[in-house]
Structure 1
Amino acid sequence: MEFTPALFLSDEELPSGSTVPDLLILNQPISPFEVFERLWRHSRYRICADGGANRLFDIFDGPLEHARADFLPSIIHGDLDSLRDDVRQYYSSKGVEVSQDPDQYSTDFRKAIRKIEKTDLSSPRREVLILGTLSGRVDQGLGLLHEMTREETRNPNLRLWLISETNVSWILRPGRNTISTGLSAGYFTCNVGIVPVYGPAQITTSGLEWDVQDWATQMGHQVSTSNHAMGEQVEVETDASVLFTIERRRRLPEG
């Protein structure tokens, strides 16, 4: 599979023929605004998972308040136990659908993914940009990684990108994976990691400072963290799913 994460961070339109991603906003801090604005612009269906609507509303406090009405989500969906009354009232008054799913045996993340999959059924392949974080509560961060692999395993046509405060992370599935790093364009630093958070794997890499061949990696044993991309392309061949992460530059280039 091929991955070009810089596409979603670019100031330019997506290339013709690209899959237009959906945007999932979780109930976690949104920062920085520049990254959020570009992800929003490149997405088509924008869903706030329950309290994610609070986060969207709050980033427009202060000097950005005049722009709040320009960033209306497609829907707010979840069990709604975290959605503030003032936020619900504001978005409802703007015509935003607020949809409740009271199921207590599924998370708001899972409910949001199901809702996304029910839109535009003519396109089987879906790319979802997740505005979230791996900082804060450890159990929630690990739970998010669990949900990402669960949903991609359930639906092979689904590709999930986790956009956090400093990194872009996604799952590399078994087989050969090619990553366009965007180093020369200035979107990312050279800092990358390949983390076997889903179980043992055997990997072969090229394009890293410390490449490996037929290398067994497992939590509690050896892992390829704090590695460095050396150029515009990294290849990872793996026999099991692993998490790939690359550090975003603090300031995005224009264009």
Structure 2
Amino acid sequence: MSELQFSKSNFVRNVLSVIRSPLASSQLNVISEQQHMDKTCWTPVELIEPSEHKNFNYALLVLNTRIALPKTVTCSLWQNAKHRVLVDGGTNRWLSFLHDLPDEGRELKNPDVVSGDFDSVNENTLEFFREKGATIEPTPNQDETDFTKAVRLLEPILEKKQITSIIAIQEHGDRFDHIMGNINTLYKANKFLKDTRSYLISEGSLTWLLAPGKHSIHVPMHLVDNQRWCSLVPISGKTIVTTKGLKWDLENGELEFGKLVSTSNTYASQNLEVTTNNYLLWSMGVFYFD
């Protein structure tokens, strides 16, 4: 898909209306994970619709990949985040993103932190954001990715800022190893930040981890109507899964690499139910472009 094209006037109007909209102030919490009895409930519309971002309790991370989200979504996610982090080369990407905005659209908040081993960030860019007030946090440890290290840095401030979710802007690009590294960070974060949820958002997809147990996912109707794709990936190994509401449902289906993997599925209903005995990667197509 190609990135949504905006005229400058339409872009500025859209961004400012999203950021200032009084409707946004009535919304509740980012992709909320509410416990109803023994079921974990997910409402992804809260993340993909800019009008829903206002009162979300999330930290936003920009990783070192191109930023291909719709600009209105990117700007709204940035402005409404409780904490903003540029991760190593993502610092260069963010500065380029800002330069590509119309003048009126550049009035975005400054990052709180720039972190990484700084092997892929331009020194002038680092200094630019230092002068803007960002805290520069070197993370030289080579045993973990810059993404994982950036998530670890969030641990002390989660309670202070009442952050319940972490959202990372990333793209698939040409580095499959980076994709796998980002997925590994989802797993690691689930262990050392047990009460905080981590998500990967990109130009066309939204991805997160389903823990063992029962889950419900409320899918926006336009994604159902347009039969957007969704996937259940058993990246933890053999997984027994039962679903309700998908076009191709599973009944105690055994998912495992080398056997069955439920990719390119789609929806029969807005309301999905997923029961899994192991960690399961959920990914879904989200944005449309004119």
The 1:188/1:64 distance shift into structure 2, 3 A limit, reads: farther
> d(CA) in 1 for partners of 2:161 and 2:83?
13
Q: 2:84 aligns with which of 43, 46, 50?
A: 46
Offset from partner CA, 1:29-71 (integer Å, 9 cap, x none):
1113222123223321011111111111011224535544524
The 1:58/1:192 distance shift into structure 2, 3 A limit, reads: same
> d(CA) in 2 for partners of 1:138 and 1:63?
29
Offset from partner CA, 1:212-234 (integer Å, 9 cap, x none):
11110101101111111122111
Counterpart of 2:3 in structure 1 is none
Counterpart of 2:12 in structure 1 is none
Q: 1:105 aligns with which of 139, 143, 157?
A: 143
Whether 1:9 aligns to 2:48 is yes
> d(CA) in 2 for partners of 1:63 and 1:122?
32
Offset from partner CA, 1:141-194 (integer Å, 9 cap, x none):
112111211221333212111101210011111000111111248898531110
Q: 2:284 aligns with which of 243, 246, 255?
A: 246
Q: 1:27 aligns with which of 64, 84, 99?
A: 64
> d(CA) in 2 for partners of 1:94 and 1:187?
44
> d(CA) in 1 for partners of 2:117 and 2:104?
29
The 1:38/1:187 distance shift into structure 2, 3 A limit, reads: farther
Give 1:126 shift: 2.5
The equivalences for 1:73-88 within 5 A come to 73-88=111-126
The 1:10/1:216 distance shift into structure 2, 3 A limit, reads: same
Counterpart of 2:10 in structure 1 is none
Higher relative contact order (CA 8 A, sep 6+): 1
Give 1:13 shift: 4.3
Structure number with the higher helix fraction is 2
| 2:82–2:163 Cα contact (<8 Å) kept | no
Task: Extract unaligned runs of 5+ from structure 1.
Answer: none
The count of aligned residue pairs is 250
TM-score (norm. length: structure 2): 0.79
> d(CA) in 2 for partners of 1:78 and 1:63?
25
Counterpart of 2:94 in structure 1 is 56
| 1:6–1:187 Cα contact (<8 Å) kept | no
SS at match of 1:190: coil
| 2:190–2:197 Cα contact (<8 Å) kept | yes
> d(CA) in 1 for partners of 2:96 and 2:225?
26
SS at match of 1:213: coil
The equivalences for 1:106-255 within 5 A come to 106-122=144-160, 126-184=164-222, 189-251=227-289
> d(CA) in 1 for partners of 2:105 and 2:41?
35
SS at match of 1:118: helix
> d(CA) in 2 for partners of 1:144 and 1:67?
29
The 1:200/1:74 distance shift into structure 2, 3 A limit, reads: same
> d(CA) in 2 for partners of 1:97 and 1:122?
17
SS at match of 1:81: coil
SS at match of 1:70: coil
> d(CA) in 2 for partners of 1:101 and 1:21?
22
> d(CA) in 2 for partners of 1:151 and 1:237?
21
Counterpart amino acid of residue 4 in structure 1: T
The 1:187/1:65 distance shift into structure 2, 3 A limit, reads: farther
Q: Mean Cα displacement is larger for which, 122-131 or 176-185?
A: 122-131
Q: C-alpha root-mean-square deviation of aligned residues, in Å?
A: 2.3
The 1:101/1:65 distance shift into structure 2, 3 A limit, reads: farther
The 1:85/1:15 distance shift into structure 2, 3 A limit, reads: closer
